[in-house]
Amino acid sequence: MNETIGKRIAELRKSKGLTQEELADRLNVSGQAVSKWENDQTCPDISLLPQLSKVLGVSTDELLSGKQAQEAAVRMLPEEERQNTGDRVLRIIVNSADGDRIRVNLPLQLLKTAMDCGLEPPRISGNSALEQVNWEQVMAILAQGVIGDLVEVESSDGDVIQIRVE
C-alpha cells in the first residue's frame, strides 16, 4: 500500500477506473481539490472520508492507515445461518506446557442437547482454567451466531486453553 493518503487515493481511484473529475463529481467537490489531495498538498475534509472510502471501496481505516483490515478472530454469522447449528463444532483445545495436546470436538447440536439434559460442561483432565469458563454465557453467545475464537486462557502452570467455534 502507498505511503501517503494522497497516493492511496490516486491508486484506488485508478483501480476503480475513475478520473479525478468523476471522483470529484461523486463527492461534490472540484477536480482541483482531488488533484491537491493526490499530490499531498491538502487532505480531504474529515466529513468526506466515509463517502470517499465508500466510493473507493475500502474502509476509512484502510484509507487512512493503508493497512488492510485483518480478518476478525470472531465474527457473526448472517442471520439466516444462525438457527442452523448443524455443522458448527465447538472445539476445546488444550496445549499443555509439557507438549501434550488435547482436542475435544463437540458438535453444537449435541452440546445443546446435552446441556438441555442437565449435563455439566466438559471437564478435560481436571483442568482448573476450564472451571472458570462461564458456559451459560458461552452458549448465549453461540446462540447469537458468533463464530471464531471465543476464549483463550493461560493457566498458572502454563497450559493454554482455547475455545473456538468453527
Partner 1 sequence: MQIILRENGKKRLRLRLPNALLLNGPSALLLSKRLKKEGVSLSYKQLRILFRKTRKYASTHPEWKLIEVQKKNEQGTEITIFVS
Place of cell 448472517: 78
- Residue 94 β-bridge partners: 102, 161
Q: How far is the CB of 15 from partner 1 (least distance, A)?
A: 41
Residue 35: phi and psi, rounded to 5, are -60, -40
Determine if 152 is a binding residue for partner 1 (CB under 8 A). no
Helix or strand (DSSP H, E) at 150: strand 146-154
Q: Is 47 exposed, middle or buried (0-12, 13-18, 19+ CB in 10 A)?
A: exposed
Residue 63: HSE in the Cβ half-sphere, 13 Å Cα cutoff: 23
- Please identify which residue in 21, 100, 152, 154 interacts with partner 1, judged by CB under 8 A: 100
Q: Does 104 bind partner 1 (CB under 8 A)?
A: yes
Cβ closer to partner 1: 100 or 152? Answer: 100
Q: Which amino acid is at 149?
A: D
119 binding partner 1? (CB under 8 A): yes
CB 24 within 8 A of CB 67: no
Q: Which of 14, 54, 75, 103 binds partner 1 (CB under 8 A)?
A: 103
Which of the stretches 60-68, 103-111, 129-137, 147-155 binds partner 1 when contact is defined by CB under 8 A? Answer: 103-111
Contact with partner 1 (CB under 8 A) among 17, 78, 118, 126: 118
Nearer to partner 1, 30 or 113 (CB): 113
Residue 160 engages partner 1 in binding (rule: CB under 8 A)? no
| Strands 89-95, 160-165: pairing kind | antiparallel
Query: How many chain residues touch partner 1 (CB under 8 A)?
Result: 19
Q: Does 84 bind partner 1 (CB under 8 A)?
A: no
- Residue 151 sits in the site that holds partner 1 (CB under 8 A): no
Compute the distance between CA of residue 94 and CA of residue 130 in angstroms, rounded to an integer.
10
Interacting residues with partner 1 (CB under 8 A):
87, 98-107, 109-110, 113-114, 117-120
